[in-house]
Structures are given as structure tokens and as C-alpha cells.
Amino acid sequence: MSTPDVHISEVGPRDGLQSVQATMPTADKCRWIDALAAAGLREIEVGSFVPARLLPQMADVAEVVRHAVTLPGLTVMALVPNRRGAEAALAAGVHKLTLPVSASEAHSLANVRKTREQMVAELREVVALRREVAPQVPVEVGLSTAFGCTLQGLVPEDEVIALAVACADAGVDEVGLSDTTGMANPAQVRRLFTRLRAELGEKAGAAHMHNTRGLGLANCLAAYDVGVRSFDSSLGGLGGCPYAPGASGNVVTEDLVFMFEAMGVSTGVDLQTLIAAREPLRAGLPGEPLYGMTPEAGLPKGWRA
């Protein structure tokens, strides 16, 4: 089987579900993850290991991980804010860890109650734990609010790059950039990812874009144009950040796959099966609005990926 031209990481079961008021039942989460994997998505962020009192939507994350790891060929990823979360995630059997490090100091304090420097120290703890108990498990960071913050406003690009370098020096495998608040524009995306790739080389990671102001796909294309080949997205555009006011919706996975496939850039994802994966999502979250232009319009006449 040939390797796709771009790697798409589905973040709906974590980033999406933590951002809605309702809690999806565990059985529905598992059915939804099954449907996403059946569409050809090879990496899914299935939840976050945080205290249930903070995010009750994630209280069943260990059970969800234990189901997801039975799906063949799927990389099961989970978000962990600290060493304790990493210990629980590794015990549950996750294949990949991701940590939230904020480029904005204000967002860092609101989101994880730690300064940026304290989060880099936490990274070192998690990397040491990984080295000790699960050396095969990659650790990645998505630098949130890398393109601006609803709490502090402008985030200087030099600070973003310096923090990315500090994360890489702490021993993580990959550092990506996240437009948590949907403030990015394509020129800024090209500029910052060009700098990131120049500084980090192979450790430069994914583009995680939000569609808050309608520029999500344009920003993904801008990142692709400067060499980024890994992208986060969410089925139906679910998601945001509970600790960043006004941070709405992720890039819609269906639209992102359509854009790349229409360009002749392979994703490894079957669009019709992917669109069908909206049904178990609807069943598990009845009444929750779902977004996406491609599912609404349908595939063009004569469509061939």
C-alpha cells in the first residue's frame, strides 16, 4: 500500500468532544472512532488524560483507548497535560502522546495553570518517563495560540520560534503550530512555518488550523506550499478551546480531504466513507451542529480521488 502524500490526524474525539457541552456515551465514541478508521484515517486523537472534574467529557478516555488500540493500522494518540496524565495514557496503551504548550503566556496560565517555562519543564518530565517505560511512543507538541491569542492579542513570532526550539531541546519528537483562536492568515502561516522548518528540520510538525474566520483551508494550503505534510482536522468541524474565548471550530476533515484529493494530493482517506462517519457522530451527539461544505454539496459529478 502506497504512503499518502499528506498525513491527516483526526482530532474530533478529543478536541471536538471537549468543546461541546454534552458528553458522548462511550459506546458511541467507539462506534465513531471505528467509522473514522474505516474511512482510512490512520491517526486519531481519541481523548485527553485530564481530571474528570475539569473535563467530564473525557472521563472514559482509558476505556476508549483500550478499544481504539484494537483497530488494525491505527495510531492512537491522546493529549496529556503533565507526567501524571502521561503515566495514565501509557498504562492504557496509547501509541503517541501530545502535550499542550501555549505560545501565549496568558493562554498557558488559563489552559494549564502553568507558565510556558513550567510547561517546558513538564515536557522534560514526560520525555524522561517515555524514555524509561515506553521508548517506542513518540511525544509531540502542538504550540497553541502560535498565531495570536484572544486573551493577550499579538504573540511575537520570535517568541513562538524560541519556544518551539526549547520544546525540541527538551526531547520531543515533533513540534507543530496551532491556530487555536483562528487568527492566522496565509501570509503569516507561510512565514512562521518556513521559520519553524528552518530551525527544527525533521522535528517541525503539523499544522493545526481553526476555521473561526473562514481561513482554515487557505491556511492549510499555505502550510502545504512551504512543505508541511501533516495536518490536524476534525470531522464536522467540531472543536475549539474551552480556555480561549471565541475559539470556534477546527478545519473540517471532509473539506480538507476533498481539497487535497481534488488537487491530486493523496490522503489515504475515502471521502464517501468519511462523510458516512458523520452518522455515528450525529447519533452520539444529537442536535449538535456539524459543519462542512463538502458533505452539504456532495461530491462532484464524475468524482475520482
Phi, psi (degrees; rounded to nearest 5) at 134: -150, 65
Q: What mean pLDDT comes out for the span 10-24? A: 93
Quote the CA–CA distance of 12 and 4 in Å, as a whole number.
Answer: 21
Q: What mean pLDDT comes out for the span 236-253? A: 72
Q: What mean pLDDT comes out for the span 20-26? A: 93
User: What phi-psi label fits residue 156: left (phi over 0), alpha (psi between -120 and 50 degrees) or beta?
Assistant: beta
User: What phi-psi label fits residue 114: left (phi over 0), alpha (psi between -120 and 50 degrees) or beta?
Assistant: beta
Which of 139-148, 197-206, 242-251 shows the lowest mean pLDDT across its residues? 242-251
Does 20 or 129 have the greater pLDDT score?
Answer: 129
Indicate which residue of 30, 149, 167, 241 is catalytic: 241
With bands split at pLDDT 50, 70 and 90, how would you rate the model's confidence at 1?
Answer: low
Active site residue 30: no
Q: How far is CA 267 from CA 42, 45, 148, 261, in A?
A: 10, 17, 29, 7
Cell matching residue 13? 474525539
- pLDDT surpasses 70 at 242: no
Which of 53-57, 134-138, 190-194, 196-200 shows the lowest mean pLDDT across its residues? 53-57
Find out whether 227 and 282 touch, Cβ atoms under 8 Å.
no
User: Within 10 Å of residue 160's Cβ, how many Cβ atoms?
Assistant: 20
- Which pLDDT tens digit goes with each residue over 54-101? 899 999 999 999 999 999 999 999 999 999 999 999 999 999 999 989
The pLDDT score that the predictor gives to residue 267 is 98
**Where are the extended beta strands (E) located within the chain?**
7-10, 43-48, 75-79, 96-102, 139-144, 174-178, 204-208, 230-233
Cell matching residue 219? 491556511
Q: What mean pLDDT comes out for the span 34-42? A: 98
- pLDDT surpasses 60 at 246: no
Phi, psi (degrees; rounded to nearest 5) at 70: -85, -10
With bands split at pLDDT 50, 70 and 90, how would you rate the model's confidence at 247?
Answer: very low
Quote the CA–CA distance of 305 and 286 in Å, as a whole number.
Answer: 31
The pLDDT score that the predictor gives to residue 279 is 98
The pLDDT score that the predictor gives to residue 111 is 74
